[in-house]
């Protein structure tokens, strides 16, 4: 059809007719194959939406979803959760003083004690979280500000961290390890839990290991030059500007939890998607004969280091049990119940409409 070729094309057209008549071989090769694919006869199924197919589908969806939703909702409701806000904004708050007198360069930490009462005993393993509000860990500048190869123990990155870490890349001419804004803003409040019963104050045993992902701990994060002698390994680097201690002193007692593979550090480095988030802090192992946390009076001892007032933040501690479906999450159950109910309701309405107004004598339009 193109304008090319002028007469040549015309003549071609004439010639092609002649051999076509004569050469049967040529004809055969040009004839399209009679296969199911090429002739578009492949078996296909197209859903035809009729009352006969739609109504049962709705009923089935409704009947399946509602029990699932109820199950999820009940499970979620059985999970116990207790939340304490210790920011210290209000004057009545025990941490008010600490919050007010905060200064960046104080060496000693301010300690405050927050009493609280558990009405119900907490069974099984209890997870202790710290929560921050209005903290934008999802800011683009913030998220990028890290050097993963440095955190993986790479020696060259240790000495010359990635440009992404700026402005937390070097201090006083020395490379910062770990560099970047995320590491620099590590949550450094220390939280301890005491059970008050009959005037005695017993510390609740908090497990600080097992709170990070296995892959993070064993694959993604590695100390430079192995775990032995971190002081030497980190020589020639500087601590992040906001830190009190260098990275190799995060947990001096346990070489498996020190340096880059410190689990508190690993948990912090996994940035949260929303400005209000919680991160796992400690695990309270269940006891054999008694509830993990019996009901009664407790006291939370906070060494208040982390400033949040400047950005209107909040700090919380959350105690929670878990179930097979994870932490407390009523939404999933509600969603299931809602969808199931809507489907069931629609099914009923459509059934009524179908029965009442279907006055066609034949079922011609309903093949099934």
Partner 1 sequence: MDFSVLRNLISRYCVGEENWLDSRTVYIGQKEPPPGAAAYIPQRYPDNRIVSSKYTFWNFIPKNLFEQFRRIANFYFLVIFLVQLIIDTPTSPVTSGLPLFFVITVTAIKQGYEDWLRHKADCSINECPVDVVQQGKAARTQSHKLRVGDVVVVKEDETFPCDLVLLSSSREDGTCYVTTASLDGESSHKTYYAVPDTKAFRTDREVESLHATIECEQPQPDLYKFVGRINVYKDTEEPVARPLGSENLLLRGATLKNTHHIYAVAIYTGMETKMALNYQSKSQKRSAVEKSMNAFLIVYLCILISKAVINTVLKYAWQWSPDRDEPWYNHRTENERQRPVVIRAFTDFLAFMVLFNYIIPVSMYVTVEMQKFLGSYFITWDEEMFDEELGEGAQVNTSDLNEELGQVEYVFTDKTGTLTENNMEFIECCVDGNVYVPHAICNGQILSAASSIDMIDSSPGGYRREHEDLFFRALCLCHTVQVKEEETVDGIKRGFHQGRPTSFYISSSPDEVALVEGMKRLGYTYLRLKDNYMEILNKDDEIERFELLHVLNFDSVRRRMSVIVKSSSGEYLLFCKGADSSIFPRVVSGKVEQVKARVEQNAVEGLRTLCVAFRRLSPDDYQEACLLLTQAKLALQDREQRLAQAYDAIERDFVLLGATAVEDRLQEKAADTIESLHKAGMKVWVLTGDKMETAAATCYASKLFRRSTQILELTKKRTEEQSLHDVMFELSRTVLRQRSMSGLSVDCLDYGLIIDGATLTAVLKSGPEGNYREVFLEVSRNCSAVLCCRMAPLQKAQIVKLIKASKEHPITLAIGDGANDVSMILEAHVGI
Q: Is 362 exposed, middle or buried (0-12, 13-18, 19+ CB in 10 A)?
A: exposed
Q: Count interface residues toward partner 1 (CB under 8 A).
A: 42
Cβ neighbours of 59 (radius 10 Å) = 17
15 binds partner 1 per the rule CB under 8 A: no
Q: How far apart are CA 252 and CA 250, in angstroms?
A: 6
Among 82, 122, 135, 344, binds partner 1 (CB under 8 A): 135
90 binds partner 1 per the rule CB under 8 A: no
Write the binding mask 29 to 68 for partner 1: x where contact by CB under 8 A, - elsewhere. Answer: -xxxxx---xxx----------------------------
Among 15, 20, 63, 297, binds partner 1 (CB under 8 A): 20
The radius of gyration computed from the CA coordinates of the chain, to the nearest angstrom, equals: 34
3 binds partner 1 per the rule CB under 8 A: yes
Binding region for partner 1 (CB under 8 A) out of 253-261, 284-292, 309-317, 338-346: 309-317
Binding region for partner 1 (CB under 8 A) out of 133-141, 150-158, 191-199, 340-348: 133-141
Among 108, 140, 199, 367, binds partner 1 (CB under 8 A): 140
Whether residue 193 contacts residue 128, with contact meaning beta carbons closer than 8 Å, is answered with: yes
21 binds partner 1 per the rule CB under 8 A: yes
Residue linked to tokens 């410190």? 262
Q: Between residues 130 and 336, which has the closer beta carbon with respect to partner 1?
A: 130
Q: Between residues 268 and 344, which has the closer beta carbon with respect to partner 1?
A: 268
Binding region for partner 1 (CB under 8 A) out of 55-63, 77-85, 161-169, 279-287: 161-169
Q: How far apart are CA 319 and CA 296, in angstroms?
A: 14
26 binds partner 1 per the rule CB under 8 A: yes
Write the binding mask 215 to 254 for partner 1: x where contact by CB under 8 A, - elsewhere. Answer: ---------------------------x------------
16 binds partner 1 per the rule CB under 8 A: yes
CA-wise closest residue to 324 among 6, 24, 21, 74: 74
8 binds partner 1 per the rule CB under 8 A: yes
Among 158, 181, 191, 250, binds partner 1 (CB under 8 A): 181
27 binds partner 1 per the rule CB under 8 A: yes
**Residue 10 tokens, joined:** 């015309």
Binding region for partner 1 (CB under 8 A) out of 61-69, 178-186, 190-198, 343-351: 178-186
Q: Between residues 121 and 167, which has the closer beta carbon with respect to partner 1?
A: 167
In the complex, the residues that contact partner 1 under the rule CB under 8 A are 1-10, 16-17, 20-21, 26-27, 30-34, 38-40, 135-136, 139-142, 145, 166-168, 181, 184-185, 242, 307, 310-312
């Amino acid at each position: 059809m193109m304008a090319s070729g002028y007469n040549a094309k015309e003549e071609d057209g004439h010639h092609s007719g002649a051999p076509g008549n004569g050469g049967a071989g040529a004809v055969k090769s040009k004839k399209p194959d009679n296969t199911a694919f090429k002739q578009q006869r492949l078996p296909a199924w197209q859903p035809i939406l009729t009352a006969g197919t739609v109504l049962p589908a709705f009923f089935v969806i409704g009947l399946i979803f509602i029990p699932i939703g109820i199950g999820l909702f009940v499970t979620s409701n059985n999970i116990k959760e207790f939340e304490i806000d210790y920011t210290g904004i209000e004057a009545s708050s025990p941490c008010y003083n600490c919050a007010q007198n905060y200064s960046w360069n104080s060496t000693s930490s301010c300690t405050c004690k927050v009493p609280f009462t558990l009405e119900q005993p907490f069974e099984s393993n209890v997870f202790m979280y710290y929560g921050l509000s209005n903290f934008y860990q999802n800011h683009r500048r913030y998220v990028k500000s890290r050097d993963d190869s440095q955190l993986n123990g790479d020696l060259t990155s240790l000495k010359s961290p990635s440009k992404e870490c700026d402005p937390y890349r070097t201090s006083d001419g020395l490379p910062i390890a770990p560099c970047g804004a995320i590491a620099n803003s590590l949550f450094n409040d220390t939280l301890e839990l005491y059970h008050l019963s009959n005037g005695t104050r017993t510390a609740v045993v908090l497990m600080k290991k097992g709170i990070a992902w296995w892959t993070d701990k064993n694959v993604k994060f590695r100390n430079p030059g192995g775990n032995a002698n971190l002081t030497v390994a980190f020589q020639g680097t500087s601590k992040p500007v906001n830190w009190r201690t260098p990275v190799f002193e995060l947990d001096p007692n346990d070489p498996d939890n020190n340096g880059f593979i410190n689990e508190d550090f690993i948990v912090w480095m996994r940035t949260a998607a929303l400005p209000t988030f919680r991160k796992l802090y400690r695990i309270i192992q269940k006891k054999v004969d008694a509830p993990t946390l019996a009901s009664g009076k407790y006291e939370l001892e906070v060494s208040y280091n982390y400033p949040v007032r400047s950005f209107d933040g909040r700090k919380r501690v959350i105690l929670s049990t878990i179930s097979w479906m994870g932490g407390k999450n009523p939404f999933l159950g509600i969603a299931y119940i809602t969808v199931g109910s809507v489907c069931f309701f629609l099914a009923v309405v459509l059934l009524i409409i179908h029965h009442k107004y279907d006055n066609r004598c034949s079922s011609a339009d309903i093949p099934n």
